[in-house]
Structure formats: C-alpha cells, structure tokens
Copies of this chain bind each other. A is one copy, B any other.
C-alpha cells in the first residue's frame, strides 16, 4: 500500500485539489506507481479519515465543491516513518518471463510476435522514464511538481532532491533497456532454434 505515500510525497510540497493532484500524479510519480483517478479520490478520503491530510472545501458555482487537501503533522510524520521503515516488496509475478519459460509450446512466429510486443511495451516505458530523466536534468523543461518542490526548498537541498530523482529514474531507464536487450536476444534465439528444425 504505497499509494498513500506517493500521494503524500506530492501533497507535502503544497496543497492541491484532488483533481490537480490526480493530474500531477499521472505526470510525475505515476510513472513509478500507477494509479487511476478512481483509486486516488477514495484513497484521499481514507487518508483524511486517518488524519493524514485535511481538506478545505471551496464552493464552485451553486452546487459544485472543490476540496483543497493539505498534509497534517500526523501525515508528515507518517511519510517520514515510511521512509525509514523496511519496504514491503511485492512477490514476483512476471507474466513475460512466465510465458518465455514455456515458449516451446508456441510456434516460432508466435514467439517472435511475443518478443516484438515485449520490445514495444518497454520502449513505451523507456520513453516515459527517459522523458522524466531529461526533465530532471533540465534538458527538457522540468515538470511543474519538481519546479514547485525546488522553489519550496532551500538552495542547499536542491542537489540532493535532483540527485535522488535522477538516480531513481536512471535505474528505471536501465531496466527498460535491459528488457529490450533481452527480448532482442529472444528474437535471435527463436531464429536459431527455428533454423535447427
């Protein structure tokens, strides 16, 4: 259940409405921890019930309301406690490597198609993560959340903030590249085994 900590990470920078948070989320942390809007709104309500965040309701028109959330002291402490606690690692559940292990049951063409789609899949992730990396490194204009984060922190912390984000996304970029390289070797393997027959 890391979703609430991903949300806290964004809210700690400054108050946001559920809507703004959901938008910023998909453009930043969402690349590391995916969540659809339909999961974010209920989680915010739960976090409010748990006292981690508070909302200020603002009227919009006659019936509409907008809820601006901010982190409470308890929320701040919860985030910091999470940062120090042992992470709960997900159990391994890897559909691609599962299928790869039984690829002898498929035709060479189906095997090739599988690897091609694997490459496509990870090219997509790579593009996302590499895009983030370029924003972090100021090659591309930074995303609004990072900009806000840096403006809200003293200059001497900027190096650390940027360094850890760079390091995290660098790891993901490597992972994507290594998945692509693996699948490319997979295509070679299919050719080799196919030629054998």
Chain A contact residues, CB within 8 Å of chain B: 2, 5-6, 9, 12, 29, 31-34, 79-80, 82-84, 86-107, 110, 113-114, 117-118, 121, 125, 157, 159-161, 163-165, 167-169, 171-172, 174-175, 178-179, 182, 185-186, 189, 193, 196
Q: How far is the CA of A103 from the CA of B134 in the complex (A)?
A: 19
Q: Which residue of B lies closest to A189 (CB)?
A: B167
A33 near B167 with CB under 8 A, answer: no
Contacts of A12 in B (CB 8 A): 105
A167 near B91 with CB under 8 A, answer: no
Contacts of A93 in B (CB 8 A): 2, 33-34, 90
Q: Which residue of B lies closest to A110 (CB)?
A: B84
Contacts of A167 in B (CB 8 A): 100, 185-186, 189
User: Within the complex, what minimum Cβ distance (angstroms) separates A166 from chain B?
Assistant: 9
Which of B29, B94, B125 interacts with A33 by CB under 8 Å? B94
Q: How far is the CA of A178 from the CA of B171 in the complex (A)?
A: 9
Which of B92, B104, B193 interacts with A125 by CB under 8 Å? B92
Residues A164 and B100 in contact in the complex (CB < 8 Å), given A91-B34, A105-B80, A174-B178: yes
Q: How far is the CA of A103 from the CA of B171 in the complex (A)?
A: 14
A83 near B99 with CB under 8 A, answer: yes
User: Within the complex, what minimum Cβ distance (angstroms) separates A174 from chain B?
Assistant: 6
Q: Which residue of B lies closest to A3 (CB)?
A: B93
Contacts of A106 in B (CB 8 A): 80, 83-84
Q: How far is the CA of A174 from the CA of B90 in the complex (A)?
A: 19
Residues A101 and B32 in contact in the complex (CB < 8 Å), given A83-B106, A117-B86: yes
Most buried by B among A12, A100, A121: A100
Residues A193 and B159 in contact in the complex (CB < 8 Å), given A106-B83, A174-B182: yes
